Amino acid sequence: MLTVLALLVYALVLVGIVSCVATAISARSALAEPVHWGTFRLTQLSCYQTRYGERCDPIGTWTADDRGLVLHDVLLDDGGLDRQDVPTGPQRAGYRDWDADETGVPDSVYDPSTVDDAWTGWAVCAPILLALGVMLAAKWGDLDRLWQYRQRRRAQASVRPSAPGP
pLDDT at residue 49 tops 80: yes
Q: Distance between terminal CA atoms of the chain?
A: 43
DSSP state of 89: S
Amino acid at residue number 25: I
Tell me the C-alpha distance between 61 and 39, whole Å. 8
User: pLDDT of 55-111, one tens digit each?
Assistant: 999 999 999 999 889 999 999 986 677 888 888 899 999 998 877 788 888 998 988
Question: Per the confidence metrics, is the pTM higher than 0.85?
Answer: no
pLDDT at 125 over 80: yes
Asked if 75 contacts 43 with a C-beta cutoff of 8 angstroms, the reply is no
Contacts made by residues 18-22, CB under 8 angstroms, sequence distance 24+: 20/122, 20/123, 20/125, 20/126, 20/129, 21/122, 21/126
Other Cβ atoms closer than 10 A to 102: 5
CB 9 within 8 A of CB 118: no
Cβ atoms of 51 and 146 closer than 8 Å: no
Average pLDDT on 21-46 reads: 83
Residue 30's pLDDT band (cuts 50, 70, 90): low
* pLDDT value for 17: 87
165 class by beta-carbon count within 10 Å (0-12 exposed, 13-18 middle, 19+ buried):
exposed
Q: For 112-120, what is the mean pLDDT? A: 72
